[in-house]
Amino acid sequence: MSSSNAPPLDVALNAAISMRKKLAVPTPDLNAPAPSSAPDLFSNDYLSVTTNPKVRERFLARIVKEPRVFGTSGSRLLFGNKSPHVQFEQRMRAFFRWPAALLFNSGYDANLSFLHSVPQPGDAIVFDELMHASTRDGINMSRCRHSQYGFAHNSVASFREVLQKTLVRHPNIAAGKSTVFIAVETLYSMDGDFCPLRQIIETVEELVPKGSAHIMVDEAHTSGLFGDGRGLVPELGLQDRVHSILHTFSKTWGMSGAVFLTTPLVRHYMIGYARPMIYSTSLPYSHLVALNTTWDFVSGPEGQALVPRLRALAAHFESALHAALARAQVPSDLLALRPRAVPADFPAHVFSPVFPVLTRASKALADVLDAGGYALTPIPFPVVPRGEERIRVVVHAGNTEAEIDEFVARICVWAREFAAREEQEKGEPRATGVLARL
Ligand SMILES: Cc1ncc(COP(=O)(O)O)c(C=O)c1O
C-alpha cells in the first residue's frame, strides 16, 4: 500500500514514532534482551536480592512443598483471594505497624488505584512536579483532574505557595467540607534526592485545618533500606503525621507487587472502587512464596546488614567519580555528577544509592557502555529538561569496589575521547596524554 493511501492509524502512529526519533527519545528494541555481561549499575535491585544465591535456594526449597504454584484465575474479588494473599497482607500490616494494608499487583496499580478512586468531587491534589507516572496517571483519571496543582520539585517555598493558592481556590477545604491530597515521594529516582518531608508536613499542619488534608507518601525507593526495612517515614519518626504510604516490592525487595498502607476506611472503600485491583487477576501462588522469601531475607539480619555495605559503596562511587573527573579534566558540561545533598534534618546514616550523572551526550555514552555489556538506558531531552540529560547510575550491595572503579574509568575515558573528537572536529589540536594517565 502506498504511503498516500496508508490506513489513517498507520499514518498517525508513524508520525508519532518519527517525532520521538526526531527528538532522540530512545525506544528500546524489545526483541533483543538488555545486555547483562557487565555488572549491574543501573537497576533498582538495591540489595542485589534478585541475584543472591541463598535467597534463590530458599525459594526453591519452599516452592517444591507448595500444593499450588500457578495462577489464581481470578481477581481478589472473584475467586482470587486465597489464604497466601490474606496472610501476606496481614504480614505487611504487622510489619509496617499500620492500621490497614492492601496488596496490589504492582506499585503502578497501587498509586493509580488510590489516586483515581479516593479523591472526591470538590477535593484537590497538590503534588511534587517530579512524581512518578503512576501518580500522575492516577491524578489524571481522578475526579480531581481539573483541580490538580504541581509544585516545584522539593521546594518547600513553592509547596507553601501552591497550597495557599489551592486553599483560596477551594474554600470548602478550609471550611472542613473537602480534602486536599498531598502526594510526594521520599526519594526521587531520576534525581536521587530526598523530599523535605518534615517541612512539607509542617506546612500542611500549619495551613490546613486538621482532618482536611491527606498526605500520601510513595516510599518506592526507600522501602527496605531505612527504618529497619520499614522505610524513611518511620526512620524520620513521621509515621503518625502522614495518612497513606506506598511500598513497592519491585526495588529493594527484589520482586514485584506493592502494599498500600492507609486507614481501614480508605482500604474498605478501595476494595469497592479501585479498578486495577478489582479487574485484574491476583498475584500467582508462586509469587507469594517468592515475596515471603525475599521479605524474610531483606527484613532480617542478613538483608539489613547489606544496607551499611550499600552506603559505603555509594560513598565510594561518589568519591571515585569526583576524583576521576578532576584527574581527567573532563569538561563539566560533558560529564558531571548532579549535586544532591541529604536534607540536614535527616539522620546521618540516610544516603541515596541513586546518582544522576549529567551528560549532554547521554545517547553516545549509552551506546558505548551497551557495547561493553552494561544495561544502560540514557535519559535524554525531552524526558528531562535540556541541559539536564543524564545517565542514572545505581549502586548495589552486590557490586564491588573494583567494578565501580572500572565503570568510573570507562566513563572518564569515553568523556576524554569524546571531548578530543569534538575539539578535532572544530579544527583545534587534539588533547593527548590525559587518557594514558587514567
Ligand atoms: C516512585 C515510584 N512509584 C511507583 C512505581 C511503580 O512501581 P512498580 O514498578 O512496582 O509498578 C515506581 C517504579 O519505578 C516508582 O519509581
249 CA: nearest ligand 1 atom: 10
Whether the CB of 250 sits within 6 Å of ligand 1: yes
pLDDT, residue 2, reads: 52
Distance 91 CA to ligand 1 centre (A): 21
Over residues 355-405, the pLDDT tens digits come to 999 998 988 998 899 889 998 888 877 778 888 889 999 999 999 999 999
Distance 435 CA to ligand 1 centre (A): 39
Whether the CB of 186 sits within 6 Å of ligand 1: no
Distance 403 CA to ligand 1 centre (A): 27
- Of the pLDDT bands very low, low, confident and very high (cuts 50, 70, 90), residue 434 is very low
Distance 145 CA to ligand 1 centre (A): 21
429 Cβ neighbours under 8 A, 6+ residues apart:
423
pLDDT, residue 428, reads: 58
- Of the pLDDT bands very low, low, confident and very high (cuts 50, 70, 90), residue 413 is very high
Whether the CB of 299 sits within 6 Å of ligand 1: no
Is 152's pLDDT higher than 70?
yes
248 CA: nearest ligand 1 atom: 10
Phi, psi of 161 (to 5 degrees): -65, -45
pLDDT, residue 271, reads: 97
- Mean per-residue pLDDT of the chain: 93
Which ranges of 175-263 does DSSP label H, i.e. alpha helix?
A: 197-207, 232-235
Distance 78 CA to ligand 1 centre (A): 26
**Pocket test residue of 130, 132, 136, 259 for ligand 1, highest count of atoms within 8 A of CB:** 132
Over residues 277-336, the pLDDT tens digits come to 999 999 999 999 999 999 999 999 999 999 999 999 999 999 999 999 999 888 888 999
Which cell is 198 given? 518534615
Distance 172 CA to ligand 1 centre (A): 32
Measured between alpha carbons, how far is 314 from 254 in angstroms, rounded to an integer? 19
Grid look-up 499500620 returns 98
- Region 62-91 average pLDDT: 97
Over residues 421-431, the pLDDT tens digits come to 888 888 755 44
Nearest to 92 by CA among 239, 241, 229: 229
Distance 436 CA to ligand 1 centre (A): 42
185 CA: nearest ligand 1 atom: 1
pLDDT, residue 24, reads: 72
Query: Which of 1-10, 24-33, 99-108, 423-432 ranks highest by mean pLDDT?
Result: 99-108
CATH numbers and ranges of domains, the chain: 36-51+305-437 (3.90.1150.10), 66-298 (3.40.640.10)
Q: Exposed/middle/buried for 371, CB within 10 Å: 0-12, 13-18, 19+?
A: exposed
**Pocket test residue of 45, 248, 287, 383 for ligand 1, highest count of atoms within 8 A of CB:** 248
Over residues 93-130, the pLDDT tens digits come to 999 999 999 999 999 999 999 999 999 999 999 999 99
Is 1's pLDDT higher than 60?
no
Whether the CB of 43 sits within 6 Å of ligand 1: no
Whether the CB of 107 sits within 6 Å of ligand 1: yes
Distance 284 CA to ligand 1 centre (A): 20
pLDDT, residue 35, reads: 82
Over residues 197-212, the pLDDT tens digits come to 999 999 999 999 999 9
**By mean pLDDT, which of 35-44, 69-78, 223-232 is the weakest?**
35-44
Is 3's pLDDT higher than 60?
no
- Region 70-89 average pLDDT: 96
Whether the CB of 218 sits within 6 Å of ligand 1: yes
Say if residues 187 and 130 touch (Cβ distance below 8 Å). Answer: no
**Pocket test residue of 105, 108, 195 for ligand 1, highest count of atoms within 8 A of CB:** 108
Is 36's pLDDT higher than 90?
no
- Of the pLDDT bands very low, low, confident and very high (cuts 50, 70, 90), residue 436 is very low
pTM score:
0.94
Nearest protein Cα to ligand 1, atom 7: 107
Distance 165 CA to ligand 1 centre (A): 29
pLDDT, residue 219, reads: 98
Distance 94 CA to ligand 1 centre (A): 23
108 CA: nearest ligand 1 atom: 11
pLDDT, residue 137, reads: 97
Distance 223 CA to ligand 1 centre (A): 11
Distances (CA, A) of 311 to 9, 318, 397, 405: 50, 11, 8, 16
Whether the CB of 189 sits within 6 Å of ligand 1: yes
The more confidently predicted of residues 403 and 436 is 403
Question: How many C-beta atoms lie closer than 10 Å to residue 125's C-beta?
Answer: 25
Strand partners, 194: 187
Is 144's pLDDT higher than 60?
yes
| pLDDT above 90: percentage of residues in the chain | 82
Measured between alpha carbons, how far is 159 from 127 in angstroms, rounded to an integer? 8
